[in-house]
Amino acid sequence: MMRRDAASAMLGMSVEVDEPGRAVVSMTVREDMLNGFAITHGGLVFALADTAFAIACNEDERVTVASGADITFLKSTGAGQVLTATAVRRAVSGRTGVYDVTVRDESDDVVAEVRGRSLITNRAVD
């Protein structure tokens, strides 16, 4: 999946851990990732969390997608900071799953918390 993920590559994301039900992805915040207040754009914090979530929930040959997610922003960050998203499976029942993602900065402070909901499709990974 990540070999074809142009969006994550464009944002400079690096996969640190890729295990069934768990993933860790990092990204250095660049100047072009800041909003009008000179803080990291929330959509890009979410993109990092979403990438970790996607890796964690795609555990086998079936394509798994997000059916929804909620994010809580807890701390702002800026250019030059390194953000790391850790996604962990909480539960899977039938075709649905629940995953928690914590985004931290280089000081290990929590930047955001995400609760993601997944849906296992009938599609097989190409």
The CATH number assigned to the domain holding 63 equals 3.10.129.10
Domain count, the chain: 1
pLDDT of residue 4: 86
- Residues with pLDDT less than 50, the chain: none
Q: Evaluate the CA torsion angle 27, 29, 33, 37 in order and state its sign.
A: positive
Inter-CA distances, 108 with 36, 69, 102, 105, Å: 25, 23, 10, 5
Determine the structural domain holding residue 94 and report its residue range: 2-124
CB contact at 8 A, 15 and 68: no
Quick: pLDDT tens for 87-115: 999 999 999 999 999 999 999 999 999 99
